[in-house]
Amino acid sequence: MLFDLHNDFATRFLNADYCKFRSTNIVTAAIWTSELSDAKSRVNDITRRLKEAGHAHIAIEDIGFTAHGEGYKQFDFSTYFYCSLTWNYNNAFAGGALDDGRLTPIGKCAIKAIEDGGCCIDLAHLNKKSFYDALDSAKNVLCSHTGFNEHPRSLDEGQIKALVERNAVIGLCTVQAFTTAHSAILFADVIDRFVQKYGCDNLALGTDFNGSDDIPDDINDYDKLLNVRDILINRGYSQNDVNKIFFENANTLYNKEK
C-alpha cells in the first residue's frame, strides 16, 4: 500500500482522471494555486469535481489567493487535508523558500482560520524564518513534500529535528534537486539515512508527481516507486517499518480526528 501526501495532478489535468489508481494507492490532490488565474473560482471548481469523483484527499498549495479582502476569514478550509501559506516567494501571509519574508500578522490569523477548519498547516515552501514562525504559531503541522539536501526547498537537520519533536509527518519528495537521488537505489539511500537518524515514525512520501519533471525514470510512477520497498526489505527493513513509511504514517495523520 502507498499513501502519497502530495501529487499536483489536480492542477495539471484540471480534473479527477489521475486519481483512478488501484485501491492500494491513496493520493492527495494538491491544488497548486500559483499556476491558476482567477484562483478562487478555479480552486472551488476543481474541489467540486474532485469531491464528485469521490476523491476525499484534497490539499491547497499556496493560499495566497485568499488574502484579498481577508478572504481567508470566509474560506471553507474544512474540505481540505492541509494548506500551505505560500509557494516559493513572499505573499501576504509568509516568506517563500526563495525569498526572505517572515510570517506576517495576517499569516498568523490565517493559520488560526485553517486550523479552526480542522485543516493541517503545511510547512513546505516556507523559508527557514517563516518555517519556525509558523511552527511556533500552529498546532497541527506537516511538511508535505521536501528533501534533505542543501536546496532552499529542502529541510536542514534543525528543521527535521523540530518536526520530529512535534511528531509531525514529513513527505519525502522524488524531485532530484531536493534529494540528490538520481535512481531508486539512491532514493532508498535517502530514506535509509533519515531512518538511521530519526526512525520510521515521521517519514512518509510526498512525491510531487506532476509538479516537476526532475524525477528519476525508475521512480516516476507509483508502480516503480513501490519497488523501493523491496530495496529496503532486502536491506533488512521489517515489513512493519516499510509500511509506516509508505502508508501508515500519512494515513494515521489523515484519519486523525479533527
C-alpha cell at 153: 526547498
pLDDT of 106 > 90? The answer is: yes
Q: Which residues contact 67 (CB under 8 A, 6 or more apart)?
A: 91, 92, 93, 106, 110
| The predicted structure's pLDDT at residue 54 | 79
| The predicted structure's pLDDT at residue 53 | 81
> Mean pLDDT over residues 143-150, rounded?
98
Q: Could you give the maximum distance between any two Cα atoms of the chain, in Å?
A: 55
**Pick the residue with more confidence: 50 or 195?**
195
> Mean pLDDT over residues 179-183, rounded?
98
Gap between the Cα atoms of 244 and 253, Å rounded? 11
Q: Which amino acid is at 224?
A: K
Helix ranges (DSSP H) in 80-217 = 105-116, 128-137, 157-165, 176-179, 184-198
| pTM for the model | 0.96
Gap between the Cα atoms of 14 and 218, Å rounded? 26
Mean pLDDT of the chain: 94
pLDDT of 244 > 70? The answer is: yes
Q: How far apart are the first and last CA of the chain?
A: 24
DSSP secondary structure letters along 222-246 = HHHHHHHHHHHHHTT--HHHHHIII
pLDDT of 248 > 90? The answer is: yes
What does the pLDDT look like over 14-62, one tens digit per residue? 766 666 555 568 999 999 999 899 999 999 999 998 888 877 799 999 9
Q: Which amino acid is at 52?
A: E
Nearest Cα residue to 107 out of 63, 74, 59, 69: 63
Nearest Cα residue to 145 out of 50, 215, 91: 215
Q: Which amino acid is at 138?
A: A
